[in-house]
Amino acid sequence: MEQSFNDKRIVRAYREVARKIVKKEGLYHNMDQAELKEQTAIWREKFKTKEMTERDKINIFALAREAARRITGLEAVTVQLIGALVLGDGKVAEMKTGEGKTLVSLFVMYIEVIRGNRVHLITANEYLAKRDREEIGQVLEYLGVSVALNEAQLDKFQKKAIYTADVIYGTAAEFGFDYLRDNMVRAWEDKVQSGLDFVLIDEADSILIDEARTPLLISDKKEEDLSLYQDAELLVQSMLKDDYEIDEQKRFVWLNDAGIEKAQRFWQVESLYLEETQNFLRITMLALRAHFLMQKDKDYVVLDDEVLIIDPHTGRALPGRRFNDGLHQAIEAKEGAAVKEESRTLATITIQNYFRMYKKLSGMTGTAKTEEEEFKEIYGMDVVVIPTNLKVNRQDMPDDIFYTQKEKGRAIIYEVSWRHDKGQPTLIGTSSIKNNEWISGLLTDANIPHQVLNAKNHAQEAEIIAKAGKRGMVTLATNMAGRGTDIKLDEDAHQLGD
């Protein structure tokens, strides 16, 4: 989104500070690593008792800029420094794709550590957490700041070790589940999280707004007769269209009179609506929902005889997460997978409520201004649009609308074909695995070589993304290749233009 008058006024003040930082670029040029580490230690001790001035901020940013230049070869430009200053003031920085938000994060994390805060950096998925920890974590470690990666499947002792680090990378879910587990322990020494001081959230609009009400749940197993789900599956398979009705828009399905009679005969009960037969009604309705409302390769995927939920925001499979209230069991019966016990909720918190517990919160994303009101109302955060370093050359074309899927498929193949022949790398995004595989079939029929990225082959994600910017490469992906994914073009591809 374009800058408003208010954004320009705010950025003007930050720009003056950013320019002062750039002018200090020679200040630490002759210091070796040991001296830079020593300076970091001096600052950390100093600001335990003293307030940080603007001059201090300028020097701290200048040192971090020098370290980034040495380790990554990247020299932060003025607009990146403006973005970091905005984040340091607990705001949301909207920066367009390709403006280098990953490098921006270095400055705000470094200065928060010097202020004495534990820093958590939240990414949209584990792939990005690992990538950013490797790219920016090495700069922080060069300056004497400890860095860790918060991953799933770690034991209590490994988690405790992670939470001793100054900066910790991870996903919102993993930090949230650690919090829930800490609130279930009996002894204080069994807790792992060491404080919620400062959190920097990448793709802030997705995590803080789109997923705000998403509940994180810890549950245990509930005992019940799992064979009833398989019986209900047989019942639903025997039903005709006259036995039920569907409202797809409201995602609701129900039995009509003929369906009720058939179900009562199947379960051998006088009525489904008696207190003692409520479980038969519940399982029948779950089987109907699983069959007619839950779509394979859109709502879930089956891998290695296991039903995995697909995250609608990221397109990724979610191992260990299950639909509630018996729906997951009904889907397992539908797909012929092993039906596992239903879960009972022991602890829960929403993403929104978890992040509101941090003492200080800031975020960065490419799209935040449209949600500015929500950021302000829910989290007390202002949104500032950061100008681009250079003029944006990307052309945003109008949507093409087609009468039929066949016509759309033909247009996709035509567009991809001539760009592939020219050597331009092409990324095709789809909303579901089903559409992903449909277009893959069209490309195969047209003899266009391509690579596919979706929840079924997420293990190859890093390799696929690394190839996506190469000359002539065609990559077909669900929204896994969306949020925060950095596809770097080869020099050959840069020369091909539009």
pLDDT at 482: 53
Domain 226-341: assigned CATH number: 3.90.1440.10
Assigned CATH for 5-219+350-385: 3.40.50.300
The predicted structure's pLDDT at residue 135:
94
199/108 Cα distance (integer angstroms): 10
Residue 498 has pLDDT above 70, yes or no: no
Query: Which pLDDT tens digit goes with each residue over 99-123?
Result: 999 999 999 999 999 999 999 999 9
Alpha-carbon span 415 to 258, nearest angstrom: 50
Burial of 455 (0-12, 13-18, 19+ CB in 10 A): buried
pLDDT digits (tens, 9 = 90+) for 139-157: 999 999 999 999 988 999 9
Could you read off the pLDDT of 305-354 as tens digits, one per residue?
899 998 877 677 888 788 888 899 999 999 999 898 877 788 999 999 99
Say if 5-219+350-385 and 226-341 have the same CATH topology.
Answer: no
Residue type, 81: L
Taking a C-beta distance cutoff of 8 angstroms, is the pair 318, 180 a contact?
no
User: CB burial class (10 A; 0-12, 13-18, 19+) of residue 22?
Assistant: middle
Half-sphere exposure of residue 133: CA atoms within 13 angstroms, side-chain side:
25
- Residue range 39-93, pLDDT digits in tens: 999 999 999 999 999 999 999 999 999 999 999 999 999 999 999 999 999 999 9
Residue 253 CA to residue 255 CA, distance in Å, equals 7
3-class secondary-structure state, position 170: strand
Q: Is the dihedral of CA 198, 202, 204, 208 positive or negative?
A: negative
| Amino acid (1-letter code) at residue 226 | L
Buried b (16+ CB within 10 A) or exposed e, 362-383: bbbbbebbebbebbeeebebbb
Q: Which fold has domain 405-495?
A: Rossmann fold (3.40.50)
E strand or H helix that includes residue 422: helix 405-422
Domain locations in the chain as residue ranges: 5-219+350-385, 226-341, 405-495
Q: What is the pLDDT of residue 455?
A: 73
Distance CA 190, CA 11 (A): 45
